């Protein structure tokens, strides 16, 4: 998982393609996308609903953004500038730097360095999530179990550290041993019995990891997820598989499991139990291939298989929040593109969850809900979703 993201032009920030205007186009975050964990099995008595990591989890690994500019001047570490000049947008340089930092000064020092760079380095902002994967992969080499590595982790930049940890441990297990071992890799994670966010990150990270060891063979990776005990675990693993499928398409690597002319694939060809998980990701790909034209995914979601249309529109709502940097008015305008209450309400559900996950607060979500005052039923749906979801944090 060393080759990350090739530079290509970002059409979304050119010409107002979101069909509404912002005073500051740099505020847009056009590739913040996520996958939502499924609801745990009811007999386990977990909290209602599922965690929604912010839509930034995937965005920073889809494309290098237009922030590779004057902002990409790294902070100095002591008297020596690290990854400056021609290396200021060289991922290999940052990878080497953070591997060395973890080895010589530890995990906390690596995150301190990363957070210092984040405020003034546009390239680091755009690559923060994959950099935290690097930190996690290297850190995991010093621990006997993922649980031990997780206790030393940091969720900065959408939990990439935890996903990197899983990549290393899957490599340690080896492909031939995976069927009998995969169900036990996350056993030592704190909060497993109550479906904690750490446990979700572990099982979701398995999906990213199996895609790496199968060379992005999506259906083979889902078959490895099948070895996990529990429907919640299998679908959480599947969410990592589908997310990695969208991510890897631009990492100097072609995936045969995406079709620009058929943007709902591979959801349409997936096993039934994984279809919902796939549809919860797929609008991010629709927007990726159409340059951010928001009416388009509404049309595609109308063509989705009937049992999964609501999920598709919720995925679209998540992207509405993600592509506007959780701007309330912008997200509202997108959701109101829905032709009826079903489309609009599911868009609002996806958006308000992303607001809460992004801000780790319900304040901005509440303000977002109040914007729909002209449609009281939408306000009610938005508020009830926010209340239920925020209670899990």
Q: Classify residue 242: in a domain, yes or no.
A: yes
Residues 239 and 27: their CA atoms lie apart, in Å, by 28
The whole-angstrom separation of Cα 60 and Cα 251 is 11
In a domain, 122, yes or no: no
Residue 84 within any structural domain of the chain:
no
Q: What residues make up the domain containing 352?
A: 11-64+127-390
Judge whether 137 lies within some domain.
yes
d(CA 122, CA 185): 36
What is the C-alpha to C-alpha distance for residues 54 and 36, in angstroms, rounded to an integer? 9
Distance between CA 308 and CA 277 in Å, rounded? 9
Q: Into how many domains does the chain fold?
A: 1
The C-alpha atoms of residue 2 and residue 251 are separated, in whole angstroms, by 9
pLDDT digits (tens, 9 = 90+) for 97-138: 999 999 999 999 999 999 999 888 889 988 888 899 999 999
SS3 assignment, position 189: coil
| Separation in Å, CA 263 to CA 3, 210, 267, 287, 382 | 24, 23, 9, 9, 28
133, two tokens: 């994967």
- Return per-residue pLDDT of the chain as tens, 393 residues: 333 333 222 222 222 222 222 233 223 333 333 444 444 433 443 444 455 444 555 454 444 333 333 333 434 444 247 898 999 999 999 999 999 999 999 999 999 999 999 888 889 988 888 899 999 999 999 999 999 999 999 988 878 899 899 999 999 999 999 999 999 999 989 889 988 888 998 999 999 899 988 989 999 999 999 999 999 999 999 999 998 898 777 645 678 999 999 999 999 999 999 999 999 999 999 998 998 999 999 999 999 999 999 999 999 999 999 888 889 999 999 999 999 999 999 999 999 999 998 888 999 999 999 999 999 999 999 999 999 999 876
Q: Following DSSP, what letter does each residue of 277-320 receive, concatenated?
A: HHHHHHHHHHHHHHTS-THHHHHHHHTS-GGGHHHHHHHHHHHH
In a domain, 173, yes or no: yes
Residue 355 covered by a domain: yes
Q: Determine, yes or no, domain membership for 144.
A: yes
Beta bridge partners of 64: 7
Check residue 25 and give left, alpha or beta (phi > 0: left; psi -120 to 50: alpha): alpha
């Amino acid at each position: 998982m060393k080759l990350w993201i090739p530079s290509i032009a970002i059409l979304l920030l050119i010409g107002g393609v979101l069909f509404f205007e912002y005073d500051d186009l740099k505020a847009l975050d056009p590739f913040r996308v996520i996958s939502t964990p499924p609801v745990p099995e009811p007999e386990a008595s977990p909290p209602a609903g599922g965690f929604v990591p912010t839509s930034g989890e995937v965005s920073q690994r889809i494309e290098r953004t237009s922030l590779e500019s004057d902002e990409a001047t790294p902070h100095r570490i002591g008297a020596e500038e690290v990854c400056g000049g021609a290396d200021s947008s060289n991922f290999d340089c940052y990878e080497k730097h953070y591997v060395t930092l973890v080895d010589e000064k530890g995990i906390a020092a690596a995150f301190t360095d990363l957070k210092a760079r984040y405020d003034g380095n546009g390239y680091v902002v755009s690559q923060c999530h994959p950099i935290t994967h690097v930190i996690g992969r290297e850190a995991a080499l010093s621990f006997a179990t993922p649980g031990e590595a997780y206790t030393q982790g940091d969720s900065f930049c959408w939990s990439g550290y935890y996903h990197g940890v899983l990549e290393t441990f899957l490599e340690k297990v080896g492909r031939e041993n995976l069927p009998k071992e995969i169900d036990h890799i996350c056993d030592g994670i704190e909060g497993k019995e109550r479906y904690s966010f750490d446990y979700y990150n572990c099982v979701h990270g398995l999906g990213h990891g199996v895609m790496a060891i199968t060379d992005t063979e999506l259906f083979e990776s889902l078959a490895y997820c099948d070895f996990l005990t529990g429907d919640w675990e299998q679908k959480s693993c599947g969410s990592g598989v589908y997310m990695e499928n969208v991510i890897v398409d631009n990492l100097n690597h072609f995936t045969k499991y995406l079709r620009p002319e058929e943007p709902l694939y591979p959801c349409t060809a997936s096993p039934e139990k994984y279809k919902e998980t796939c549809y919860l990701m797929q609008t991010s790909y629709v927007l990726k291939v159409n340059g951010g034209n928001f009416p388009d995914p509404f049309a595609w979601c109308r063509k989705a298989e009937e049992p999964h249309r609501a999920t598709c529109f919720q995925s679209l709502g998540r992207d509405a929040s993600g592509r506007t940097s959780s701007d309330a008015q912008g997200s509202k305008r997108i959701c109101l593109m829905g032709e009826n209450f079903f489309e609009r309400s599911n868009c609002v559900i996806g958006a308000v969850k992303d607001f809460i996950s992004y801000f780790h607060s319900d304040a901005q979500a509440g303000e977002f809900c109040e914007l729909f005052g002209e449609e009281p039923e939408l306000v009610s749906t938005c508020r009830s979703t926010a209340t239920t979801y925020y209670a899990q944090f």
